[in-house]
Amino acid sequence: MERHTTLGEFIIQNQKDFPYAKGELSSLLSAIRLAGKMVNQEINKAGLAEIRGKAGQENVQGESQAKLDVLANDMFISTLKDRGEICGLASEELEDFLVFNEEKHKNANYVVLIDPLDGSSNIDVDITVGTIFSIYRRISPVGTPVTLEDFLQPGINQVAAGYLIYGTSTMLVYTTGNGTHGFTFDPGIGSFFLSHPHMKHSESGRIYSINEGNYVHFPQGIKKFIRWTQELNEEENRPFTSRYIGSLVADFHRNMLLGGVYLYPTGTTSPKGKLRLLYECNPMAFLAEQAGGKASDGYGRVMERIPTELHERAPFYCGCKTEVEKIEWFLNEEKTN
């Protein structure tokens, strides 16, 4: 039986891609792996442990927090802080970023931005959820407290990004700028094993993922794109398939494996888009581009947007290049008319 490479082995083997990191980035990814295993365990027993349902409070976005939102947030913060490789962390669940000032953090070079539990509204009905993370090198002087500017960097400055998907199997997918790679968790052994090396988007797909319940609020360009997907294709003589889970991680993961495009446009209910630029759009864009796909805000590369606030929202179109470019074409046509 062929022995698969573990995540830890893969990280060590590829440390040469970051000679300046001195093992810090590898240790940081290992901490994310550990926290993901802990969250996965809690999700699997959520019904028995009475940690389903709402926590009775709202996050900074004004959204009701699930109990597991709070639990996952606490687990990732404590695990990442313990390692000492980061000087600060920003979470979708917290109003402000955290500054880590203990002695072991004094020489840390990295900050992490995280969505601890993407799609948490699906928890109570046992539908796939995930964790999204993004890692940057700090730009403030080492040895000083981390600043807001360390977090408000464009996506092109990311040194690593990825997600954990908690579904029928648990996977960790990440990139450090040298391809997108997926690792599947073996609960019997307790390790992640390389199962999807060099994941790739197809040039074009047959799936589109959007919450069509908001159709009336969509820009005309997006409405035209949806109508275009519903037309009979000349080659296959069938329209696109609509698939929308309501968890960005789950929709993105399926579309990367099967070929598709994800859309979350602006609208009257979300005038700037709904997804968070720093916690969702940028890390997923990095993964998509490293897998040969494309990510756009409708008019340009989303990773080139300059953030102005910690919880900034943005429209997001991500997946196979052909369909993302078609979306841009429809939106630009609307803009010029």
Q: Are residues 310 and 237 in the same domain?
A: yes
Q: Are residues 160 and 259 in the same domain?
A: no
pLDDT of residue 219: 95
Q: Are residues 184 and 211 in the same domain?
A: no
pLDDT of residue 150: 98
pLDDT of residue 18: 65
DSSP tag of 103: G
Q: Are residues 221 and 324 in the same domain?
A: yes
Average pLDDT on 39-68 reads 63
Percent residues over pLDDT 90 in the chain: 71
pLDDT in tens, 142-156: 999 999 999 999 999
pLDDT of residue 124: 76
Which residues does the annotation place in the binding site for Mg(2+)?
92, 115, 117-118, 280
Residue 87 DSSP SS3: strand
On whether residue 201 sits in a domain, the answer given is: no
Strand partners, 115: 132
On whether residue 235 sits in a domain, the answer given is: yes
Of 158, 45, 66, 187, give the one whose Cα is nearest residue 118.
66
Name the E strands within 197-269.
207-209, 241-242, 260-264
**Alpha-carbon span 300 to 319, nearest angstrom:** 14
pLDDT of residue 1: 42
**Alpha-carbon span 55 to 39, nearest angstrom:** 17
Strand partners, 171: 165, 184
Statement: residue 109 has pLDDT above 60: yes
Q: Are residues 22 and 139 in the same domain?
A: yes
- 27 versus 238: the higher-pLDDT residue is 27
Which residues does the annotation place in the binding site?
92, 115, 117-121, 211, 244, 262-264, 274, 280
Q: Are residues 122 and 146 in the same domain?
A: yes
Q: How confident is the model at residue 247 (pLDDT cuts 50, 70, 90)?
A: very high
Q: Where a domain ends, among 171, 196, 221?
A: 196
Q: Where a domain ends, among 169, 196, 223?
A: 196
pLDDT of residue 328: 98
Statement: residue 51 has pLDDT above 50: no
On whether residue 2 sits in a domain, the answer given is: no
Q: Are residues 147 and 57 in the same domain?
A: yes
**Alpha-carbon span 135 to 220, nearest angstrom:** 36
Q: Are residues 138 and 26 in the same domain?
A: yes
| Single-letter amino acid, residue 133 | F
On whether residue 243 sits in a domain, the answer given is: yes
pLDDT of residue 81: 94
CATH number for 323: 3.40.190.80
Statement: residue 49 has pLDDT above 70: no
pLDDT in tens, 199-211: 999 999 999 999 9
On whether residue 98 sits in a domain, the answer given is: yes
On whether residue 93 sits in a domain, the answer given is: yes
**Alpha-carbon span 75 to 42, nearest angstrom:** 10
DSSP tag of 269: S
Q: Are residues 62 and 145 in the same domain?
A: yes
Q: Are residues 27 and 97 in the same domain?
A: yes
Q: Are residues 147 and 39 in the same domain?
A: yes
Residue 163 DSSP SS3: strand
On whether residue 79 sits in a domain, the answer given is: yes
Statement: residue 273 has pLDDT above 50: yes
CB proximity list for 203: less than 8 A, separation 6 or greater: 292, 320, 321, 322
111: domain range? 7-196
Statement: residue 36 has pLDDT above 80: yes
Contact 198, 181 (CB under 8 A): yes
Kindly report the pTM of this predicted structure.
0.92
CATH number for 119: 3.30.540.10
Number of structural domains the chain divides into:
2
Statement: residue 167 has pLDDT above 50: yes
pLDDT in tens, 185-237: 999 999 999 999 999 999 999 999 999 999 999 999 999 999 999 886 666 56
Looking at every residue in the chain, the average pLDDT score rounds to 89
Residue 32 DSSP SS3: helix
Q: Where a domain ends, among 149, 168, 196?
A: 196
Which residues does the annotation place in the binding site for substrate?
118-121, 211, 244, 262-264, 274
Q: Are residues 88 and 155 in the same domain?
A: yes
